[in-house]
């Protein structure tokens, strides 16, 4: 099973909140691959 999520954050705090909520829903043996780019506008 492979799920794909696209998340665009508006701030560092936004990202941390998303990560905490997302991590709490993961299976103990889940594998997470993070890709993307960091941008300062």
What local confidence, expressed as pLDDT, does residue 31 receive? Answer: 87
**Mean pLDDT across the chain:** 82
Express each pLDDT in 1-41 by its tens digit: 677 878 888 888 988 898 899 889 989 898 888 777 766 65
Q: Per 3-state DSSP, what percentage of the chain is helix, strand, and coil (rounded to 5)?
A: 30, 0, 70
What local confidence, expressed as pLDDT, does residue 20 receive? Answer: 92
- Work out the percent of the chain whose per-residue pLDDT is above 90: 10
Q: What are the residue ranges spanned by the domains of the chain?
A: 1-41
What local confidence, expressed as pLDDT, does residue 37 receive? Answer: 73
Encoding tokens for residue 5?
A: 């999520």
What local confidence, expressed as pLDDT, does residue 10 receive? Answer: 83
């Amino acid at each position: 099973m492979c799920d794909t999520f696209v998340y665009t954050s508006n701030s560092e705090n936004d990202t941390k909140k998303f990560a905490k909520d997302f991590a709490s829903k993961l299976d103990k043996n889940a594998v997470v691959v993070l890709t993307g780019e960091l941008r300062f506008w």
